[in-house]
Chain A
Amino acid sequence: MVACHAENNIPTVGPAEAARSRAMHWLRVERYWEGEFPDVRLKFRPVLCQQCEAAPCEPVCPTYASHHTEDGLNAQVYNRCIGTRYCANACSYNVRFFNFFNPIWDKPLHLQLNPDVSVREVGVMEKCTFCVQRIKATTQLAKSENREMKDGELKPACAQSCPATAIVFGDLNDPESQASRLSRSARGEKLLEDLGTRPNVTYLKSQASA
């Protein structure tokens, strides 16, 4: 989560605003408790933008700020966003966040901002982009070297920093990539799949479904 904040210039809103439920964690780790004491089990589930093929957030944006790219990403164009917040309401996963105020980075933290990512102003929606700046950079690098991207060459900040390699990123259009193979696993399931959003994120359960 911290890596995501650092990579994407996501502001920390401060304790007062966080108490008002305005924290902007593009990637959040949900904690669920199961069972009664003393047989309590703790489960973690990282939730990020599912980059749905039939994203409910896209058709409702009046200015095309939320739309689908040819790469298969759900893109958010900050310059087009006028802040109606309809996309956030339509998103069943609650993975969209709003800049309620102009973000502030107390000095000297402003020196840590990633120059590849724009800083959003007040009134604009934002969400996980699968680190699109890294995707673009790696694509251009591969193109300039006249080769295809290698599987595993490109990692978004969350996948890169996870010590347990719980997050795997790759090209789903390439059936041989690790991400592609894992997404076809018997342990794989999608979040809120019966809503018909066709999310591109697959969660692997610890055991295959019976």
Chain B
Amino acid sequence: MTGAASRPATGVPATMTEDLLRPLLETSWKFYALVIVLFGVVLLGVGSFAYQVNNGIGVWGLNWPVFWAFDITNFVFWIGISHAGTLISAILRLVNAGWRRPVTRCAEVITAFALMIGAMFPIVHLGRPWLFFWLMPYPTERQIWPNFRSPLVWDFFAISTYLTGSLLFLYLPTIPDFALVRDRTTGFRSRVYGALALGWRGTTKQWHRLETAMQIMAIAIIPVAVSVHTIVSFDFSMAIVPMWHSTIFGPYFVAGAIFSGIAALIIAMAALRKFLHLEAYLHPVHFENLGKLLLMMSLLWGYFVFAERLTTWYGNESAEMSVFWTTQSGAFAPLYWTMVVCNFVAPLCILSFRKLRTVTGCVIASCGVVVGMWLERFLIIVPTLSHKYLSYSWGSYRPRMPEILLLVSTFGAMGLLYTLFSKFVPIISIWELKVGEQPELSQPQETPDEAATLWRTHP
């Protein structure tokens, strides 16, 4: 029926459409259990936020002079995770890497949801969060506009642009798959998917327009992604405090973002492979390729850290050195060295050897990277804020329960959104996978002279 008999033997089974639609059409009790547990975790975070709005930021561990800690760490962390999709989907699409096909939607989904979670934190961290909309440029009776010189306003624009772009980048190639589900279901479900499919039919013209649009989006989203995390890094580098006012922050953060994004992608793919039984579609070679990318990013991260640290140490400027030493050997040293092991030592040890670049190996390395990259954001923010120029006003920081709950709930939110998405939308792009499986072209049936009279003649 699907003409599978004439397709060449590849890694994709003939029942591809059925396999990839099964999560949508069949639900087990495990799904409901998982959703309930994750929802509970998310509620913890919502409750924590409500408690904070009701009582004040004082319920957190922030103080004078450490005015940002977990809140902005989480923000930068989740925005960083969101760079997974752009790399895999956009960059690999532009260089025609065929192995990206089963992975592309998993990655774009991480981007969309990680961005949404990350974008909550500029609102959550405000002293008066009910006024967050003052960051938006709109004419108001107060006749004042946002301060466009402020990196926080740049954040608003950058994240809005990236979120819009990523959601559209996720949605557009899903349209043909929504049409597929529309045709395979009946009743209310068919109508909902039909609405989402926007009446897609699959004419040659529609395919061309869609693929052209995807091409343009891929070209556009890459500079946006680079700019977003650069702008997030500008939240720090624009301030003239020790070890923040560094020109390396832009590229450093972007590299770190792609690094953490790939790690998150590997974990998500491994989970999908296990829970949705997608072993036939997410092959060990995909993990191997991503593992190699992760190794490369780990080396790149190490390079940036070395460049930053060497410059600081060599310059020996007293204010910077006090921050430097507090991370290398002072109060923050345990966290710092854990970060180095998680981000550099462990990935190098695991991913350098092909024998260890298995699915399990890659997942272990990735979990370490996720932890390490969170620590990296924390260690950029808190040591500097606690050790500025005037030693009388140095301070310290300890997290408190509401902040920890908020952090945990973000992971719950990511899990919940991802689980729900994979239930309602095919997590692997079916039409793109089919294109990857297309056989060689057979010979044309007409002579070149006849072809000139038959095709693309006007009228």
The answer to whether A63 touches B147 (Cβ under 8 A) is: yes
- Distance of A63 Cα from B149 Cα, bound (Å): 10
> Are the CB atoms of A20 and B63 closer together than 8 Å?
yes
Judge whether B31 is part of the interface by a CB distance below 8 angstroms: no
7 of the cross-chain contacts (CB-CB < 8 Å) are A30-B390, A62-B153, A64-B144, A82-B132, A97-B64, A99-B56, A123-B127
Q: How far is the CB of B141 from chain A (nearest CB, A)?
A: 13
Expressed in whole angstroms, the minimum distance between the Cβ of A113 and any Cβ of chain B is 20
- Residue pair A88, B146 in contact (C-beta under 8 Å): no
- Is the Cβ of B385 less than 8 Å from the Cβ of A192? no
Residues of B within 8 A of A102 (CB): 56
Closest residue of B by beta carbon distance from A64? B147
Are A89 and B385 in contact, with the CB atoms below 8 A?
yes
B194-229 at interface with A (beta carbon < 8 Å):
none
Chain B residues with CB below 8 A from A86, complex form: 150-152, 235, 239
Q: Which residues of B contact A156 (CB under 8 A)?
A: none
A100 near B57: Cβ-Cβ < 8 Å: yes
User: Which A residues are CB-close (under 8 A) to B395?
Assistant: 21
Which residues on A are within 8 Å of B, measured CB to CB?
Answer: 17, 20-24, 28, 30-32, 45, 47, 56, 59-64, 80-86, 88-90, 92-94, 97-102, 121-125, 191-192, 195-197
Q: Does B332 contact A (CB under 8 A)?
A: no
Residues of A within 8 A of B127 (CB): 81-85, 98-99, 122-125
State the B residues within 8 Å of A (CB): 55-58, 61-65, 67-68, 122, 125-129, 131-132, 134-135, 144, 146-147, 149-153, 156, 235, 238-241, 385, 388-390, 392-393, 395-396
Tell me if B389 and A192 are in contact (CB < 8 A). yes
Contact A62 B150 (CB under 8 A): yes
Q: A85-B67, A123-B56, A123-B127 are in contact. Are A80 and B144 (CB under 8 A)?
A: yes
Complex formed: what's the CA distance from A81 to B187 in Å?
A: 52
For B388, the chain A residues whose CB sits under 8 A away are: 92, 94
A84 to B124, CA, bound (A): 10
Least distance between A98 CB and chain B CB atoms (Å): 6
Q: Decide yes or no: A123 and B68 within 8 Å by CB, A62-B146, A195-B240 being known contacts.
A: no
Within the complex, what minimum Cβ distance (angstroms) separates B459 from chain A? 58
Q: Top 8 closest A-B pairs, CB basis?
A: A83-B127, A123-B127, A100-B58, A94-B393, A21-B63, A30-B392, A85-B67, A90-B239
CA A47 to CA B396, docked complex, whole Å:
20
User: How far is A191 from B392 in the complex, measured between Cα atoms in Å?
Assistant: 13
B128 engages A100 (CB within 8 Å):
no
Considering the complex, give the chain A residue whose CB is closest to the CB of B144: A64
Tell me the nearest residue of chain B to A54, going by C-beta. B240
In the complex, what distance in Å separates the CA atom of A121 from the CA atom of B131? Answer: 14
- Complex formed: what's the CA distance from A30 to B390 in Å? 10
Q: Given that A21-B395, A122-B56 are contacting pairs, would A98 and B64 also be in contact in the complex, using a CB cutoff of 8 Å?
A: yes
Q: Chain B: interface secondary structure?
A: loop
Distance A99 CA – B56 CA, assembled complex (angstroms): 8
On whether the beta carbons of B150 and A17 are closer than 8 Å, the reply is no
Contact A83 B57 (CB under 8 A): yes
Contacts of B385 in A (CB 8 A): 89
User: Given A30-B392, A86-B235, A123-B128, A22 and B63 touching (CB < 8 A)?
Assistant: yes
Residues of B within 8 A of A93 (CB): 389-390, 393
Given contacts A123-B56, A125-B127, contact A89 B147 (CB under 8 A): no
List 12 extra interface pairs beyond A60-B149, A100-B56, CB under 8 A. Answer: A21-B396, A30-B390, A31-B392, A47-B393, A59-B147, A59-B238, A82-B131, A84-B152, A89-B65, A89-B67, A94-B65, A98-B127
With both beta carbons as reference points, the residue of chain B lying nearest to A90 in the complex is identified as B239
The distance in angstroms between the C-alpha atoms of A61 and B134, with both chains bound, is: 12
Assembled-state Cα–Cα distance A33/B240 (Å): 27
CB contact under 8 A between A94 and B150, given known A89-B67, A102-B56, A122-B56: no
Known: A60-B152, A81-B128. A101 touches B58 (CB 8 A): yes
B393 and A84 contacting across the interface, CB-CB below 8 Å: no
Would you call A94 and B235 a contact (CB within 8 A)? no
Task: Check if A88 sits within 8 Å of B67, measured CB to CB.
Answer: yes
Residues of chain B with a CB closer than 8 A to A191's CB: 390
Whole-angstrom distance between the Cβ of A63 and the nearest chain B Cβ: 5
Q: Is B240 within 8 A of A92, CB to CB?
A: yes
Provide the residues of chain A in CB contact with B134, threshold 8 Å: 62-63, 80, 82
A39 to chain B, nearest CB (A): 20
A98-B152 contact, Cβ under 8 Å, with A56-B239, A90-B240, A123-B126: no
**Is B393 a contact partner of A60 (Cβ separation < 8 A)?**
no
Residues B55 and A60 in contact, CB atoms below 8 Å apart: no
**Which of A28, A45, A62 meets B152, CB within 8 Å?**
A62
Contacts of A17 on B, CB cut-off 8 Å?
A: 58
B126 CB contacts on chain A under 8 angstroms: 82-84, 123
Interchain CB contact under 8 A, A63 and B146: yes
A62–chain B nearest beta-carbon distance, Å = 4
A21: chain B residues at CB < 8 Å are: 63-65, 395-396
Contact residues in B for A83 (Cβ distance below 8 Å): 57, 126-128
**B152 to chain A: closest residue by CB:** A62
Closest B-chain residue to A124, C-beta based? Answer: B127
Say yes or no: B55 contacts A98, CB within 8 Å. Answer: no
Question: Do the beta carbons of B67 and A98 come within 8 Å of each other?
Answer: yes
User: Least Cβ distance of A104 to chain B in Å?
Assistant: 11
Question: Would A22 and B239 be within 8 Å (CB), given that A62-B146, A94-B390 are in contact?
Answer: no
What residue in chain A is nearest B392 (Cβ atoms)? A30
A99 to B58, CA, bound (A): 8
A17 smallest CB distance to B (angstroms): 7
Q: What are the residues of chain A within 8 A of B128 when measuring CB–CB?
A: 81-83, 121-124
**Contact, CB under 8 Å: B390 / A100:** no
Compute how far the CA of A7 lies from the CA of B456 in the bound complex, rounded to whole angstroms.
Answer: 84
